[in-house]
Structure 1
């Protein structure tokens, strides 16, 4: 409600209650999108999405800044949120699931022809520098911003550069390697923030 949480007034919500509510809200969203999934899988996805959303909302703001706790924003599948990033990762995983291969089972050189390929590759090349910066300054929100940018650039690449239906085998392998690198970067970045990833959601 825009007022700070205080323990003195006795009106503070317990963290466990917030997390449980996040899981229930995430369950409702995931079930609406995928009603055909079995109940146990829906619950497992809801746990990852719900708890990830709360963690990410906290870490994505500068540690000295105030923010309003808002479930609707945290659980949104658009914008700088955990669900958006988790969904971006599942898109990469989905490509490799169709192919029947793991990220590390792709060979060939990366050829950066399309502007979307070049922009994604340039952003991925900054990962080490971003991690050093986060470690040095203790600012996890900069990693969140970086991962959000990677997810956006991957989305643009995915929509504009056909991967499995590329023009030739060399281009297909190149795009698969670039997608795999994006997937590994998103997964490692999210895990460093304490978030689990999902193969589908």
Structure 2
């Protein structure tokens, strides 16, 4: 779903081109909360998974996160311990750019399997992408577009709700064409809200 999807209060996004994709299309998406936020995650149950899944699955139980970084064009899967180190370096680079702990950054990658990440391109591109972070609708669309692989259109939406405590907004982006089964497969999604939720409520 496209259109004027907008970010919740306190969130920023950006899309950037690092040069990972041969096509030259954008390949790096950032989603950043301005302060500590409750976090939860749902991950593939497949026994074999990419390095970013390993790293992010370790971090989600803390119940807090500041950012999600996603690259497309390379899945950083079947890359062994060096792949895990690369995923951690991606998180650390973004953490340095936005001023948080590396452990507060979750990592996702999608694309070609079994090929090491082109880290020089990413380490150069992450600070540039962080410099583009903004809260407008175009920035959210740019980030959703940068996540795409075989998708034909970016997938994003937002919804405004009025609750007893006031108005809140929920926004979501995802990538994946027929990629949900089996066991979450290779679908990636990020859901953000300015509603005050506990980590446990985020999983409901």
TM-score range, shorter chain: under 0.3
TM-score (norm 2): 0.28
Q: Which has the larger radius of gyration?
A: 1
More helix by share: 1
